[in-house]
Amino acid sequence: MSKQVGPLLQRAPYRYELPETYKKGMRVPGILWVNEAAARLIAEDQSLDQLANVACLPGIVGASHGMPDIHAGYGFPIGGVAAFRTDSGVISPGGVGYDINCGVRLMKTSITVEDVRPHIEELTRRLQRDVPSGLASEGELSLSAADLRDVMVQGAQWAVDRGMGELQDLEFCEDRGAMQAADPNAVSERAVKRGRNQLGTLGSGNHFLEVCYVDSVYDDGLAEAFGLRYHTVCVMVHSGSRGFGHQICTDYVSIMLKAMTKHGIHVPDRQLACAPFDSDEGQKYYSAMACAANFAWANRQVLAHLVRGVMSGLFPGIKVSTVYDVAHNIARVEKHVVEGRPLELIVHRKGATKALGPGNSLLPGAYSRYGQPILVPGDMGRYSYVLAGTVKAQEETFGSTCHGAGRLLSREAAKKSVDGSMLKATLRDKGIFVLGTSNASLAEEAPEAYKDVSEVVSVMVDAGLARKVARLVPIGVVKG
């Protein structure tokens, strides 16, 4: 029997439906993957209206999905997943976001937390010194226009070919670190100008480098397959396409607003500006978005190279290898079965992670039997998780799951309620050495500004959309 929570109907454990009758124009229901406590909070939240608005877009199939880390974003909610037919549906920059291919790379090392803890302050300081961070940060790679065009097309391969990484890194990147749809001709000169000096930079906001270690293993077989052993030190890199991707989104939101009039599209929120996927505007945005995604993969590849340099300088002989690299903000053409029929869809994931199950042909050979590694950062005061994808996720959510803890407080609210210098001292007392560009930037990313990621992960696991592999605890953090 269904349970009513505000406008939501509980259809199964952790699955709440927002019926099409909630808002005029909804073409499909909304589905929230949450526990009851979260459902009650979200029933009063702006993200619920955003979930409904997405369900109004032309060509949407199945449902508009919200992951348990859902919160309000630009147009689409963050933690939102939606798929549209490629022949009659739309593509929307708001469904990807401004930080195109904001994502995470997890690297494992050959040393343990016992080896690192005595040196964590020095290690963290060296990482902050050698990895440019902050809003206007620029890297040492000042690219020519021709170089940047190559980065747009080649992605992470561009960096590896120049000695910044290993071929194995590419094997353990989604799409091997490059989308084939990229076309530099779809990118504006302004975006090119913003991107030329930003390759190899961390950025600001919630971007970070984190030195952490495996403190819990939940599935011995999966952990062994991913190379995650108890007390092994890992490094997590969280960054995206920087100002390059931001400008591409800005450019195409403007283009899409005009295109909607041309194509006779009406949306409940201008932030959902879109165009038919098969239109000239839709195809150009997809090609430009792919350029930004490839830039982001190249960026994380360069950042990984810089991290390796710091680690090997402090720990001679150390091995640092990639576990996986995942995109959080992206749209891809994928094939899925909907109501028994195989369809080609353009799947938007905004603050959501692809979650492929065992046997999927897109997985690297090493992970084919186990499912895709899913990287779920928490906050700098608690823990993060590594999960594995499931076949059920492919069937229920277009192969998608959560991407992080999800914010509870806005950045402004966090700065008003948290003292950055006191936070730094508190974390240090807990054995976590944190460096940021300012105390204000640390306050924005305080642990209390985020949901407890363990609750978010529990929903995904209990709903069958992911399997729990390991937990990572931070000991050193560099915030952008």
Active-site positions read 403
CA separation for the pair 466, 393 (Å, rounded): 7
Contacting residues for 369 by C-beta, under 8 A, at least 6 apart: 225, 358, 359
**Do the beta carbons of residue 423 and residue 446 sit within 8 Å?**
yes
* Angle, vertex CA 58, rays to CA 52 and CA 59, nearest 5: 105
Cα dihedral sign for 401, 405, 408, 412?
negative
Residues 356, 56: Cα–Cα separation, whole Å = 27
DSSP conformational letter for 380: T
- Cα 57–60–64 angle (5° rounding)? 90
Question: How many other C-beta atoms lie within 10 A of the C-beta of residue 39?
Answer: 20
CA distances to 249, 350, 380, 450 from 274, in Å: 12, 15, 36, 30
Tokens matching residue 384: 């993060």
Q: Which residues pair with 373 in a beta bridge?
A: 388
**Maximum Cα–Cα distance for the chain, whole Å?**
63
- Tokens coding 87: 């022949």
> 391, exposed or middle or buried, with CB in 10 Å at 0-12, 13-18, 19+?
middle
Cα(131)–Cα(139) distance, rounded to whole angstroms?
8
CA distance 1 to 454: 28
Q: Which of 276, 286, 336, 282 is nearest to 87 (CA)?
A: 276
Distance of CA 93 to the CA centre of its chain: 15
Burial (CB < 10 A; 0-12, 13-18, 19+), residue 120, is middle
Asked if 43 and 8 count as a contact pair (C-beta separation under 8 A), the reply is yes
